[in-house]
Amino acid sequence: MGDQRKKSAKAFKKAEKVIPGGVNSPARAFSAVEMDPIFIEKGEGAYLYDIDGNQYLDYVNSWGPMILGYNPPQVIKKLKEQLKKGTSFGAPTEIETEIAELIVDFYPAVDKVRMVNSGTEATMSAIRLARGYTGRDKIIKLEGCYHGHGDSLLVDAGSGAATLGIKGSPGVTENTAKETIVVPYNNQQAVEKVFTEYGSEIAGIILEPVTGNMGVIGPEPGYIDFLRKITRKNGALLIFDEVMTGFRLARGGAQELYKIEPDLSTFGKIIGGGMPVGAYAGRREIMDYVAPVGPVYQAGTLSGNPMAMQAGLATLKELKNKKIYTQLEAKAEKLEKGFKKNIEELEFPAYFNRVGSMFTLFFTAKKVKNYQDVKSCDQKLFAAYFRNMIEAGIYLPPSQFEANFISLALSEENLDQTIAANYQVLKKLKAEL
Ligand SMILES: *Cc1c(COP(=O)(O)O)cnc(C)c1O
């Protein structure tokens, strides 16, 4: 194993000397799967190619954005056009209004949108706005949800922090952390208890309505409805972090799927079409609390950057076509059926969970409903599964605490190949159990 990735191994050694851990985001480290990260040369449709020339079927989608696959011609065309005009002006362009209009169109809960440069910035700003608007300090966050690395939200966070077993982070002051109250996902009583104790101090609840950053877990029936009611009753804001789920689970995100109007929504990933973008959005009276109209300050030199806006806009224009979501659902369903059949036939202790085109194969025999359930998964077994899938030419997120993504570029044959690889790998692991 590994001989066919000599160049990656060398590139990693070199990177480690000048970049902490050799990666610019911990989620890219392969430490949990006991491998060196794979260095990428290029992407094309459903495939990634590493610098050693190996080809992989991709289920990471750059962690979500590449819903159309790599290098969709419509997006590349717009980027090329913009390149000729200039890459940044620090002044308004019409593209920004156009993309905001699209988001407003697809999200009934959204009247106004402010563009930023990452999902982290989006949630950080949304939290500041929620606090400023309500005049309250405390935030409720759900265990295992990841909302970027802003101080207030880096408490019991998912994704890379969960993979590395980091509960909080040095550098986040105790005073900041204590304003964030963490409760388990899918647990109504825990939220009720917090409101009973702190009711008038709670600025809002932020959540991934369907989680991706502790693996894919959907809300139990009634849970989201309950959150909407209890926040409204207590004058707190309901904040949907749709950085991952926005334009992914449906054109109108999880809020369309569960028919709930949050007060604030955050976006990222897909809305940048592969460029660095984030956004926070919501009802007019809340969004008008942001500078320059309102007192809550938030700014950005490269916010609404024309290259990023072009990539995002071209992507969202493709997603206007609702048929895309029917196609994604069909692909995802095919994969689900295949994986579940494999698990059943091999009597393998695994639990497959999927919402739309996001899925996770959990290495546990029981149903996964929250972060504690994910933590009880067999990480060693996951790591072995991951490495074997890589050998089979299938590129997955290198952690049990992540979502896998299905892109539009995956063909029937690609899915069949993946299901067959899944069978062979599970069979091999089962024999070793
Ligand atoms: C990825 C993600 C973020 C952070 O976005 P970045 O662009 O990585 O800063 C925030 N929230 C959710 C739900 C995410 O999936």
Q: Residue 130, SS3?
A: helix
> How many residues in the chain?
433
Pocket test for ligand 1, best of 66, 145, 147, 266 (most atoms within 8 A of CB): 147
Q: Does the annotation mark 259 as catalytic? A: no
pLDDT of residue 215: 98
Contact assessment for residue 195 and residue 232, using Cβ atoms and an 8 Å cutoff = no
Closest by CA position to 377, among listed 350, 356, 359: 350
Taking the centre of ligand 1 as the mean of its atom positions, its distance from the CA of residue 278, in whole angstroms, is: 8
Q: Which has more confidence, 354 or 155?
A: 354
- For 73-318, give the CATH class: alpha beta
Q: Is 269 labeled as catalytic in the residue annotation?
A: yes
343-389 pLDDT per residue, tens: 999 999 999 999 999 999 999 999 999 999 999 999 999 999 999 99
Q: Check whether 1 has a pLDDT greater than 60.
A: no
In which residue ranges of the chain is CATH 3.40.640.10 found?
73-318
Quote the pLDDT of residue 2.
52
Q: Which residue has the tokens 């304003």?
A: 179
| Cα–Cα distance measured from residue 247 to residue 325, given in angstroms and rounded to the nearest whole number | 9
The residues of the chain that CATH labels 3.90.1150.10 are: 2-67+322-432
Mean pLDDT of all residues belonging to the chain: 96
Assess if CATH 3.90.1150.10 describes domain 2-67+322-432. yes
| Distance in Å, CA 63 to ligand 1 centroid | 9
pTM of the model: 0.97
pLDDT-derived band at 156 (thresholds 50, 70, 90) equals: confident
Q: What are phi and psi of 112, to 5 degrees?
A: -140, 150
Strand 404-405, strand 394-395: pairing: unpaired
CB 353 within 8 A of CB 215: yes
Helix, strand, coil share (%) of the chain residues, nearest 5? 45, 15, 40
